Amino acid sequence: MLSRSSSSPRWTGFFLVFLSLCSLFVPAVSVKHENFKTCAQSGFCKRNRQFADDVTSSSAWTSPYNIDPATISFSKGQLNAVVLKTVKDGEDKVRLPLTVTFLESGTARVTLDEEKRQKGDIQLRGDSKVRKERYNEASQWALVGGLEVSEGAALSEKAEDGFTKVFYGEGGKHQALIRHSPFSIDFQRDGETQVKFNDRGLLNLEHWRAKKEKPVEEKKEGEEENKEEKKEEEAEKGEDESTWWDETFGGNTDTKPRGPEAVALDISFPGYEHVFGIPEHATSLSLKTTRGGEGNYNEPYRLYNADVFEYEMDSPMTLYGAIPLMQAHRKGSTVGVFWLNAAETWVDVTKSKTSANPLSLGTKSRTDTETHWISESGLLDVFVFLGPTPQDLNRQYGELTGFTQLPQSFAIAYHQCRWNYVSDDDVKDVDRKFDKFNIPYDVIWLDIEYTHEKKYFTWDPLTFINPTKMGKQLEKSIRKLVVIIDPHIKNTDSYPVIDELKKKDLAVKNKEGNQYEGWCWPGSSMWIDCFNPAAITWWKTLFKYDSFKGTLSNTFIWNDMNEPSVFNGPETTMPKDNVHFGGWEHRDVHNINGMTFHNATYQALLERKKGEVRRPFALTRSFYSGSQRVGAMWTGDNLAEWSHLEASLPMVLNQGISGFPFAGADVGGFFGNPSKELLTRWYQAGIYYPFFRGHAHIDTRRREPYIAGSPYTEIMTQALRLRYQLLPAWYTAFHEAATTGAPIIRPNYWVHPEDEAGFAIDDQLYIGSTGLLAKPVTKEGADSVSVYLADSQPYYDYFDFTTYQGAGHHHTVPAPLEKIPLLMQGGHVIPRRDRPRRSSGLMKFDPFTLVVVLDSAGNANGTLYLDDGETFEYEQGAFIHRRFSFSAKHASLTSTNLGGRATTKTDKYLKTMANVRVEKVIVVGAPSAWQHKTSVTVMEEGAKESARRKQVDFEFFPADGKKAAWAVVRDPRVAIGKGWKIDFSDKSGGGDHGHQH
């Protein structure tokens, strides 16, 4: 198997030569479908989809779930009741405790549990010792806030019979209309229904029942008929038990000590044509439907974190991570749901269109989106967000699960990775080559081959002889090293890490209660169970500098294979009946597993040395809601093909609107060898990934940007420089993400939520709030791109100020290989640093350039956020946060403070930045009235009297055809951390400045 080969370092030399020959003939690769389940192969999915089909085809269907009105109570923002499930064969009704909690934020939370299991009143099958409750701890891992209960939520007196109505949210604008029989909920905003639960009657909570052992019948004549009869009988009962008690797939049998226990619900979004979210899938941003039909899928979107290597494009197949957040969008409204469940989950999406009624004027055609959520186990626990804007939705979700970590500034620069840099000399050589070719980079990465025989926390003694020296060379140009640490621990002799893991009993267990042993890179391995607090405590000790020798303060960590990937496990992961800390089955916690490991690593990095507190950097492959708090993710093992470059954009955009924006794809494509053109285009696109890393499989040829040669190397260098030039804008966008939940790169609908024609656009992006609009080239041989402009502002080419204007149209922008299509929307001020450097660390005290891009009214606004890029002192005020505003009315550009009240930390930080100035102001779309101006007046707060008001050179460049007029103020010498004003008015400059007072 391509991805599973890993060479012994001693052979690497030969191997590389051999490979460079072989790789000329790399075969086309594609995912092994047979390794992964379809819905029909996943018992609970099949059952629930079948149930949906039965319900949909029956006209007489009513959902068997009813609230017992006598049980309803409401206090302190929470409604409690019992839902009774009527069971077909006349058993007692199953009691399902319901809570509907109304949160201060205007969000509602619905949980449904099973009373018998809450009480532990069930029998487990076999000798199982697992917990009897439905898994109810997902919230402890995913949620960090936002749970304050609404004081104002109140029951309505006026509810109709058979309904309970609750007003909640700001000014009571939100309402939950709870129908008792059958149970359903409509969530309304301003009297209009936005989200419906159980409208289609697909609620299905598989309750616990004892297995009725059937007597084994002796084989008689006519057995075939008997079997058929039995099948018919079962079909009549509507219950197909074949996947209730155990299930076999790919030779692995999953025993189910609790029997069937799925939870499923239909959630509808009336009037919403688009739904987004539920990463991770290689699909379009606006989700396709999943019940067949042209261009649509036949399978539901699956969320079951897995090592799906060589994954395919345009598919609802599961990938490495899961965020069960979906948002529905229409003109004027964004709403969403967060399905807090960590078990295997499938989501069907369908749409229905109601045509306009020609007889009644004013009724428009309308599309509704219906979804069907199916999880294998756990509570039903769903949050409903009522927006109404995409910004509100991301904030509401972020308040619950946390905003993205504000990373160290190096982490948003360029990362150079491959499997593998083969020795410390190799690393030092690559480092020198980047310098030789004047290509900026910040971080070099080591994949698994740096270890001694795949034992993490060790170095291969023959190839990584002096890691400290290597780290120190990197430090000279303020560069960093990232090393990989995976969750599987080699099960071998004389390896203290496995000895401790076993002795302390910190590994995941198998169903018999023994430490589970499986197969991964090192061969036989065990998996640290980070659900166990003691495991996290131990994990922290392994990263201390005096424990993991050879690591320095510029070493950071890459967590891979944490789905977890188990080569000999079912669907390349862990058996579902494995057991974690607390007695929970792996089935219950699977999608959270990767996050717990990533989280443990984050915590370990915080505590490497007493007194040294730095923001950790840890990359993860597997993720869940909440992972954004502790690091970055990448989209795993893509291919060096144009289609994968193209798919990376909707995937990374989707991460952004799903609350985990620090995301990127392997630049160049992991498997295979990209052509020089593809590699170049990938760099030109990769500069827009919030997480920007080049990476390649061990069987590929070297492809560091200096290798391709002229003109590719120069073009890639130019792209990298553009990323570095705009780092201040990127860092500001990260800060916004870290404080508001906004995506870092933004799709069209998010920026223009009213522009229906742009809702499905997912191949162009805005960078933060900068107004920078990029449309990467993703087609071979292209020499132009077509950019969609949603609004009527002028958009200017970033490099030559060619103007594009016209709302609702596509505009052709030239894009020969050496040209990166990037536009600036009128109305923004973009901060950048123009001096080319070898690493971002070397730019720390560089001066700024401000690009003022005027809108059609001649105004512009922008912000800059800046801090030490390293410590947590920003939390105590050590930062600069400025607003730059250009006002047409006053013809001036001002810098004002957004930072709030200064602290001693602020003062200290400002002192370190006192000499960092603005060295240039460029005004794009400059008014022609400025054409004779030769200077402007600059005023700075706190400057000495003599310097308070100074004249500074100004130059005007008239419009030239489609190229807009622009102007430049050279070296206004104002401090980036101070308040100042540049006066462009007639009174200022052009020889008449003497009249000013």
Binding site for ligand NOJ (CB under 6 A): 419, 447-448, 484, 560, 621, 636-637, 670, 695
**Would you say 195 or 640 has its CB closer to ligand NOJ?**
640
Q: What tokens does 703 get?
A: 């492809």
Residues with Cβ < 8 Å from 922, sequence gap 6 or more? 849, 850, 851, 852, 966, 967, 968, 969
**Would you say 693 or 844 has its CB closer to ligand NOJ?**
693
CB of 575 to ligand NOJ, least distance (A): 21
Alpha-carbon distance of 287 to 301, in angstroms, equals 9
Residue 588 appears among annotated catalytic residues: no
Q: Minimal CB distance to ligand NOJ: which residue?
A: 419
Amino acid making up residue 384: V
**Would you say 550 or 636 has its CB closer to ligand NOJ?**
636
**Would you say 39 or 696 has its CB closer to ligand NOJ?**
696
CB of 306 to ligand NOJ, least distance (A): 12
Q: Which residues of 134-156 are buried (b: 16+ CB within 10 A; e: fewer)?
A: bbbbbbebbbbebeeebeebeee
CB of 676 to ligand NOJ, least distance (A): 22
Q: Is 24 exposed, middle or buried (0-12, 13-18, 19+ CB in 10 A)?
A: exposed
Tally of CB atoms within 10 A around 669: 28
CA distances from 366 to 135, 269, 285, 388, 831 (A): 39, 11, 21, 19, 43
Pairing of strands 73-75, 78-85: antiparallel
CB of 302 to ligand NOJ, least distance (A): 19
Sheet holding 795-797, edge to edge: 745-746, 765-767, 772-774, 822-825, 795-797, 803-804
Name the helix (H) or strand (E) containing 974: strand 966-975
CB of 366 to ligand NOJ, least distance (A): 43
CB of 487 to ligand NOJ, least distance (A): 12
- Considering 376, 424, 431, 560, which one is annotated as catalytic? 560
**Would you say 268 or 622 has its CB closer to ligand NOJ?**
622
Residue 563 appears among annotated catalytic residues: yes
Amino acid making up residue 911: K
**Would you say 203 or 483 has its CB closer to ligand NOJ?**
483
CB of 448 to ligand NOJ, least distance (A): 4
**Would you say 114 or 560 has its CB closer to ligand NOJ?**
560
**Would you say 284 or 562 has its CB closer to ligand NOJ?**
562
**Would you say 431 or 637 has its CB closer to ligand NOJ?**
637
- Considering 563, 585, 704, 755, which one is annotated as catalytic? 563
CB of 686 to ligand NOJ, least distance (A): 15
Pairing of strands 163-168, 174-179: antiparallel
Residue 376 appears among annotated catalytic residues: no
Alpha-carbon distance of 433 to 441, in angstroms, equals 11
CB of 440 to ligand NOJ, least distance (A): 23
CB of 449 to ligand NOJ, least distance (A): 8
Alpha-carbon distance of 915 to 611, in angstroms, equals 29
- Considering 247, 424, 637, 940, which one is annotated as catalytic? 637
In the numeric block, the tokens 């058996």 are attached to 575
- Is there a contact between 766 and 827 (Cβ–Cβ < 8 Å)? no
CA distances from 10 to 464, 483, 493 (A): 12, 20, 22
CB of 491 to ligand NOJ, least distance (A): 18
**Would you say 177 or 633 has its CB closer to ligand NOJ?**
633
Axis-axis angle for helices 727-740, 712-725 (nearest 10): 50
Q: What is the biggest distance separating any 2 CA atoms in the chain, rounded to whole angstroms?
A: 115
Q: What tokens does 899 get?
A: 């930072």
Q: Which phi-psi region, left, alpha or beta, contains residue 15 (left: φ > 0; alpha: ψ -120 to 50)?
A: alpha
**Would you say 562 or 591 has its CB closer to ligand NOJ?**
562
Tell me the three state secondary structure of residue 978. coil
- Is there a contact between 477 and 441 (Cβ–Cβ < 8 Å)? no
Q: Smallest Cα–Cα separation from 267: which of 350, 361, 331, 389? A: 350
Radius of gyration from C-alpha coordinates of the chain = 30
- Is there a contact between 305 and 321 (Cβ–Cβ < 8 Å)? yes
Residue numbers annotated as active site: 560, 563, 637
